[in-house]
């Protein structure tokens, strides 16, 4: 085995003269190096963007959400509370009611908005909304017999509203009942106590009110729409989901942070691995050079192969010599390319060398080095190099020793 490795290195890295074969070998190593480095950098940037988007979404989304599969609302029973309390992975939780409502103000056009009724003491433990207050304060309680509300700053500008204005909300169910029962729709008045501003990549609630006020508005009595849960570690979401689903049964729908925005996350993964396949073309071009250079070595060393076989080398030994040459090219290219790719990714992560325009939510290309991605790139490139050596190795193993020595 040591002899096979020695011969493979001597054939591949001959020091006597620079030939076309050594030039092709150099091109192959360079191609694998560039391809590997590019793949690591590009996948790290895609992973960085994924982490940025995930971070923004998790400002609004919980790690786990519990909803009913049978109806829009359910009762938060004592048994369910105990089940959640027994989970050490759960850090905080908050129940809520939600629905669409018609916002009415005498001086502006009516507008349909998404309303979420929350217990503010619970909700702001799992959500960073309290850090994004622009005007006013977070005060959803009743003052002068009027409950408070928190509005999105964009909605405030569109409707030309100010903190302190009084707003009426009419729920869809209330409007439907007024039509069927031929009565005036029941509306609920709220006072705008504060405004918030945060980046929303996807649509979310524009109006926050107290949970009890929300239950009256949507006529859910003591029922809730769902439970948002923040875990000790976000990475444990899938395991906790499975455990809760087994205990709560099919009556409830358990969604992780990934499930809540699955179409967006799936598209980002699709873009990432599509780029991987496209950039692998660079490595494939280098692999074609490996086939060419090793085939030329087989032709050039035809007599040497015959001599080796007369000395006792089996066809399997001959094949191993040329497969090792492909392996060496892959190892050198992957080692250098992997090092360059990791270095460039680290520099971008630490110093933000390549900037983005001011229109973006971040100032430089984000980078997240995922060692699973790096392993996939290195193993994929190395495997292609070894596969490329299979045809030349197979051809070398079929050389007839008598013919090689007689005619060469």
pLDDT of residue 36: 94
CA proximity to 286, closest of 35, 42, 13: 35
For the CA atoms of 335, 341, 345, 350, the dihedral, rounded to the nearest 10 degrees, stands at: 60
Residue with tokens 């995922």: 370
Say which residues have a Cβ less than 8 Å from residue 190's Cβ, sequence separation at least 6: 146, 147, 148, 149, 166, 167, 168, 169, 209, 213
pLDDT of residue 107: 77
Q: Which pTM does this prediction carry?
A: 0.84
pLDDT of residue 223: 94
Say which residues have a Cβ less than 8 Å from residue 186's Cβ, sequence separation at least 6: 170, 174, 178
Q: What is the CA radius of gyration of the chain?
A: 33
- C-beta atoms surrounding 143 within 10 Å: 10
Residue with tokens 């003591």: 222
Both tokens of 232, joined, read 């000790």
pLDDT of residue 378: 95
Which sign, positive or negative, has the C-alpha torsion 149, 153, 157, 162? positive
CA angle 6, 333, 372 (to 5 degrees): 120
pLDDT of residue 232: 93
pLDDT of residue 298: 79
Where do runs of H (alpha helix) occur along 58-136?
78-85, 120-126
d(C-alpha 109, C-alpha 111), whole Å: 6
pLDDT of residue 199: 67
How high is the mean pLDDT in each 10-residue block of the chain (408 residues)?
A: 67 60 81 93 94 87 93 91 93 93 83 90 85 86 91 87 90 69 74 84 78 91 93 94 93 94 92 91 85 80 76 82 87 95 95 81 90 94 91 81 60
- C-beta atoms surrounding 357 within 10 Å: 6
Report the interhelical angle of 262-300 vs 371-388 (nearest 10°).
30
pLDDT of residue 172: 76
């Amino acid at each position: 085995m040591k002899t096979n490795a020695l011969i493979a290195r001597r054939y591949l890295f001959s020091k006597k003269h620079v030939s076309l074969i050594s030039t092709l070998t150099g091109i192959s190593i360079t191609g694998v190096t560039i391809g590997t480095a590019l793949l690591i950098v590009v996948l790290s940037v895609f992973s960085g963007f994924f982490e940025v988007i995930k971070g923004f979404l998790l400002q609004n989304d919980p790690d786990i959400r519990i909803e009913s599969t049978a109806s829009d609302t359910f009762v938060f029973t004592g048994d369910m509370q105990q089940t959640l309390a027994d989970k050490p992975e759960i850090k905080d939780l908050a129940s809520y009611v939600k629905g669409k409502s018609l916002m009415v103000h005498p001086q502006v056009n009516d507008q349909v908005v998404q309303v979420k009724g929350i217990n503010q003491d619970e909700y702001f433990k799992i959500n960073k909304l309290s850090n994004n207050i622009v005007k006013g304060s977070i005060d959803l309680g009743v003052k002068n017999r009027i409950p408070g509300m928190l509005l999105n700053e964009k909605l405030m500008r569109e409707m030309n509203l100010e903190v302190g204005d009084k707003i009426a909300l009419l729920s869809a169910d209330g409007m439907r009942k007024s039509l069927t029962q031929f009565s005036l729709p029941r509306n609920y008045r709220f006072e705008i106590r504060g405004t918030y501003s945060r980046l929303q990549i996807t649509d979310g609630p524009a109006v926050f009110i107290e949970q009890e006020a929300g239950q009256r508005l949507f006529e859910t009595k003591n029922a809730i729409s769902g439970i948002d849960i923040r875990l000790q570690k976000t990475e444990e979401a899938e395991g906790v989901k499975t455990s809760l689903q087994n205990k709560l049964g099919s009556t409830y729908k358990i969604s992780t942070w990934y499930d809540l925005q699955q179409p967006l996350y799936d598209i980002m993964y699709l873009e990432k691995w599509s780029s991987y396949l496209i950039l692998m073309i660079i490595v494939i071009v280098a692999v074609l050079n490996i086939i060419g250079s090793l085939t030329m070595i087989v032709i050039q060393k035809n007599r040497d192969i015959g001599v080796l076989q007369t000395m006792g080398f089996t066809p399997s030994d001959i094949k191993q010599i040329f497969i090792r040459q492909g392996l060496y090219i892959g190892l050198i290219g992957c080692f250098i390319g992997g090092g360059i790719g990791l270095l460039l990714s680290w520099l971008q992560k630490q110093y933000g060398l390549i900037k983005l325009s001011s229109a973006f939510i971040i100032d430089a290309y984000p980078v997240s080095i995922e060692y699973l991605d790096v392993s996939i790139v290195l193993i994929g490139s190395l495997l292609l190099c070894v596969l490329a050596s299979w045809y030349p190795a197979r051809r070398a193993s079929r050389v007839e020793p008598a013919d090689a020595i007689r005619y060469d």
